Chain A
Amino acid sequence: MSNNKYKILIVEDEANIRSFIKANLETSDYQVICAETCTLGIMMYASHHPDLIILDLGLPDRDGLDLIRQVRESDTTPIIVLSARSNERDKVEALDLGANDYITKPFGTEELLARIRAVLRSRRQGTENEGKPSGKYRLQDLLIDYDKRQVFIGKDEIDLTQTEYNILACLSVHAGKVLTYAAIIRAVWGYSDYGSVKKLQVNMKNIRKKMGVTPGEKRYIVNELGVGYRMLEDDL
């Protein structure tokens, strides 16, 4: 039985944090292996082939970003980064290097488990592979029909511009994952220039308006200030 469990590698130097994450994951039916340093983490990764890596960026021996770089050279193993609150730049860099998500310290265990589930699910569904999405995407009362390029809320069709649709589609394909401004811009416009982020933000505002979302409602798309956007996933 135990062979079926997802194997998760925790790379974190603080013993107490490691131990509470470990205890939590094990009671949630994951198999857990731990590493205290970046070097050890890379070794463990190579020999154990975990299904997911939880990585603290502030490691004693090397920068945690090194590990992301090394892993991404050969593999798409999901990586969730643990980071201090005040470093958007670190977050953006980690995401742009290929980390799948980040979670800000201090975090609750529920939050961590939800992120792990989301990342593992999107990997299982194979949504990470690029290319034109097909089929349909559902979230709460939102429905995106990729084949017809139509978006519905309940029964009503939402009239989006090409760009707005492309942004929404891009986010929904990667639902559950934070996409940095740069990543979205690259996906939607293919190039980026000085005003790109603002252009994206203005489009986003319009999308929300058309979908009838007002600030403070937790619906569809979450803002990660200074980093990017995250489309919610239906918690099944």
Chain B
Amino acid sequence: MKSRQQQKDILFSVLVFCGSFAVNLLIQKIFTTQTLVPMIFVFGVFLISLKTHGYCCGIVSAIVSVFAVNFAFTYPYYAFDFFVEESIFSAVIMLIIAISTSTLNIRIREQEMLRVREQEKLRSESEKERMRGNLLRAISHDLRTPLTSIYGSTSTLISKYDALSKTQQLKLLGEIQEDSEWLIRMVENLLSVTRIDDAKAAIVKTPTVLDELIDSVLMKFSKKHPDQKVITDIPDDFVDIPMDSILIEQVLLNLLENAVFHAKGMTELRLSVSLADNKAIFEVADNGCGIPAEALDRIFTGSFAGAAAPVDGTRSNMGIGLSVCAAIIKAHGGEITAENRMGGGAVFRFSLERECDDEQ
């Protein structure tokens, strides 16, 4: 990109220089005067310094212009004569103009760049702020329930220890464990969000082997849901993809769990990865009940959790889980989509850049 800009600059300089030369020749023909010659060349140098990047083009065009004036427009015509004090003087002036214009120009450009960058930062920050707000709302709503239940169960256990039968005690303890597991999942999602915030500019991507990622995800998934089979369909070749593996792992886990919790009537859960021009496309598909149409467009915003909180008491951290997915994929420079499948069920899809670096 840099060299293309340089080429453009050089082309522009040459054009302007030739232009001013031609204008001078024309003026000389028509008005037979030479008083305008230095002015027009100064103007040319000024233009070049203004429009090109850096000092180089301006300075070179100043020197060349001095030569041109000396060569073509002062006596002896069409020959160099460097003993004319004038020409040294005009060279100095041209150089000063070229350098000071370029300096000004560079400074303005720098400031502009700073401003643009600042604006971008502000914009991304306010976006992050909004996302965090959504999450916080969804979470504080969802945290209270398991905490209430844990607190209640433990208080009961402590105060009524002797009155409760062993089965009752175990039941309460089992519920406490269930609730804490749910809290752990939630906190893990929150951690993922802070991890995105921590890495100020961008997340740190390391090449991760696809097989190992999928293996790790399935391992964790089957630990939590030992009865749910996952059909996998991934490329046979060695594929490594730059990513923050902990975060992408979280995304895949969330998507799989989301299917387990919400795809009612699911008999088949499929995790597939395909490669297409420098991209790896991840898909989590189920054949359950699908996503209600009115939820489809809000599903990743985190506002869904509160709105559609299930009445039957089964808690869902779907809203939070999915909005965390969206945030993670966004931080990776991708996008996540959800849609209903033709034959029933839902499919979640996201892609990651592969940008295979071939230096190895």
Contacts and interface: CB of A to CB of B under 8 A. Distances in A.
Interface of A: 85-86, 88, 106, 194-195, 197-198, 201-202, 204-205, 208, 214-216, 218, 222-223, 225-226
15 contacts: A197-B207, A198-B360, A201-B212, A205-B209, A214-B232, A215-B215, A215-B218, A215-B234, A216-B214, A216-B218, A216-B230, A222-B219, A225-B208, A225-B245, A225-B246
B212 A225 contact: yes
Interface centre among B211, B214, B234, B246 (most CB of A within 10 A): B211
B207 A216 contact: no
Interface residues of B, number: 27
Contact of B209 (A85, A88, A201): A201
A216 B212 contact: no
Interface string B216-232: 10110010000000101
Contacts of A214: 232
Contacts of A202: 238
B191 interface: yes
B219 A208 contact: no
B338 interface: no
A226 B212 CA distance: 10
Contact of B240 (A198, A216, A222, A226): A198
B72 interface: no
Contacts of A201: 209, 212, 238, 240
B211 A215 contact: yes
Given A205-B209, A216-B219, A216-B230, A226 B184 contact: no
Contacts of B359: 194
B353 interface: no
A195 B211 contact: no
B145 interface: no
B148 interface: no
B188 interface: yes
Interface in B174-195: 184, 188, 191, 195
Contacts of A194: 359-360
Contact of A106 (B184, B207, B214): B184
B155 interface: no
Interface of B: 184, 188, 191, 195, 206-209, 211-216, 218-219, 222, 230, 232, 234, 238, 240, 245-246, 249, 359-360
Contacts of A226: 206, 208, 245-246
Given A198-B207, A225-B213, A225-B216, A215 B232 contact: yes
A205 B211 contact: yes
A183 to B, nearest CB: 17
B356 to A, nearest CB: 11
A85 B246 contact: yes
A227 to B, nearest CB: 10
Contact of A88 (B240, B246, B360): B246
A188 B214 CA distance: 26
Nearest to B180: A106
A195 B232 contact: no
Q: Which 8 A-B pairs have the closest CB atoms?
A: A216-B218, A215-B215, A195-B360, A223-B212, A215-B214, A225-B245, A201-B209, A223-B216
Nearest to B195: A86
A126 to B, nearest CB: 30
B246 A216 contact: no
Nearest to A84: B191
B188 A85 contact: yes
Given A194-B360, A198-B360, A208 B246 contact: no
Given A85-B188, A223-B219, 12 more contacts: A86-B195, A194-B359, A195-B360, A202-B238, A215-B218, A216-B215, A216-B232, A218-B219, A225-B208, A225-B216, A225-B245, A226-B245
Contact of A205 (B208, B222, B238, B246): B238
Nearest to A196: B360
Nearest to A194: B360
B23 to A, nearest CB: 57
B43 to A, nearest CB: 53
Contacts of A205: 209, 211, 238
A197 to B, nearest CB: 8
Contacts of A106: 184
Interface centre among A86, A202, A204, A208 (most CB of B within 10 A): A86
Contacts of A208: 211
A223 B215 contact: yes
Contacts of B191: 85-86
B314 to A, nearest CB: 23
Contacts of B232: 214-216
Contacts of B246: 85-86, 88, 225-226
Nearest to B244: A226
A86 B198 CA distance: 11
A218 B226 CA distance: 12
Nearest to A105: B184
Nearest to A225: B245
A79 B212 CA distance: 26
A151 B78 CA distance: 88
A225 B249 contact: yes
B109 to A, nearest CB: 36
